[in-house]
Amino acid sequence: MTVYAIIGGTGLTQLDGLHIDTELHIDTPYGAPSAPILRGHFAGREVLFLARHGHPHRIPPHQVNYRANLWALKQAGAEAIVAVNAVGGIHAEMPAGHFCVPEQIIDYTYGREHTFFQADGQGELEHVTHIDFSYPYAAELRSQLLAALQASGCSYSDFGVYGCTQGPRLETAAEIVRMQRDGCDIVGMTGMPEAALARELELPYACLALVVNPAAGKSSELITMADIERVLGAGMDQVKATLARVFFSNKKTALIGGFFIGR
Ligand code: HPA
């Protein structure tokens, strides 16, 4: 039977339209996930739902237990993951309200537990593992997201490099200039190590990013939570419509939502 999972954060403490059957309290060798995993039905399919930032939303991006979240999802039966993330727009063609399904990642985070392949205080590893991460996102899942965005009439880009910063503060304008020079098109705080951990668990993974603000220095206005929340509110229906199309056309997908799902 097809299983989908959705992980939501700020605002996505629950997904409208998700009929919950079971609340899964899964403990992992890495601790507890951000919230119980909800198993239910959305858009006619069985799905798993996990709030990345907890429910209620209270875990900042740098303190999310990404390892526990991914491990618990795998335990719950997820076989692929679509992560939903709110991001700032760096590329000139990625204004607030625009969607991006990135192709690549640059990781600027630090100090996060970012791998399953390390000795966690119980002796040494049997062998050292280096996963291939040349192409961090699953091509087929990306295509499904792009098709769904198109069918939903959303404004979107089928390219993009996601620069993941540590947070929780937003970036300086100079940091964004540097990130743009590096090739980043969008900036967020939750894309890593999530994507790499999914790869370590051999879970196909893709990202549906909603631009909620122009990145620092890209607008004459300061970035306010009120402005971000306005965009999140407006983008929510499009997110849900897009996810519903993916669910209808796909099997065995886990969705990880960013901090805007569930309003
Ligand atoms: N920077 C980093 N993370 C974000 C942003 C941003 O501008 N907007 C939403 N998440």
pLDDT, tens digit, for every residue of 52-106? 999 877 999 999 999 999 999 999 999 888 899 999 999 999 999 999 999 999 9
Residue 260 has pLDDT above 60, yes or no: no
39 Cα–ligand 1 center, Å = 29
CATH architecture entry for 3-115+132-257 = 3-Layer(aba) Sandwich (3.40)
- Ligand 1 contacts CB of residue 179 (under 6 A): no
Ordered DSSP codes for 29-71: TTB--SSPEEEEEETTEEEEE--TTTTTT---GGG--HHHHHH
Give me the residue spans of the domains in the chain.
3-115+132-257
User: Which whole number is the average pLDDT over 165-176?
Assistant: 97
What's the start-to-end Cα distance of the chain, in Å? 28
pLDDT of residue 244: 87
* Residue bearing the CA closest to ligand 1, atom 3: 188
Residue 253 has pLDDT above 60, yes or no: no
- Residue identified by tokens 């630090």 is 110
72 Cα–ligand 1 center, Å = 26
Residues 6 or more apart in contact with residue 121 via CB below 8 angstroms: none
For residue 150, what are its two tokens?
């198109």
251 Cα–ligand 1 center, Å = 31
212 Cα–ligand 1 center, Å = 8
% of the chain beyond a pLDDT of 90:
63
Q: How far apart are CA 106 and CA 103, in angstroms?
A: 11
pLDDT of residue 19: 83
Q: Are 151 and 245 within 8 A, CB to CB?
A: yes
Question: For the segment 180-189, what is each residue's pLDDT rounded down to a tens digit?
Answer: 999 999 999 9
Residue 126 has pLDDT above 90, yes or no: no
Give residue 249's pLDDT band: very low, low, confident or very high (50, 70, 90): low
Question: For the segment 2-52, what is each residue's pLDDT rounded down to a tens digit?
Answer: 466 776 655 455 577 778 889 999 999 999 999 999 888 888 888 888 989
Residue 157 has pLDDT above 70, yes or no: yes
pLDDT of residue 11: 47
89 Cα–ligand 1 center, Å = 8
Buried b (16+ CB within 10 A) or exposed e, 5-25: bbbbbbbbbbbeebeeeeebe
Pick from 206, 154, 150, 209: which is nearest to 184 by CA?
A: 209
Residue 252 has pLDDT above 70, yes or no: no
pLDDT of residue 251: 45
Question: For the segment 179-220, what is each residue's pLDDT rounded down to a tens digit?
Answer: 999 999 999 999 999 999 999 999 999 999 999 999 999 999
CA of 215, closest atom in ligand 1 = 7
* Residue bearing the CA closest to ligand 1, atom 5: 88
CA of 61, closest atom in ligand 1 = 3
CA distances to 81, 86, 253 from 145, rounded to whole Å, are 12, 16, 12
Q: Where are the alpha helices (DSSP H) in the chain?
A: 66-76, 139-151, 173-182, 194-200, 225-249
Residue 154 has pLDDT above 90, yes or no: yes
pLDDT of residue 122: 67
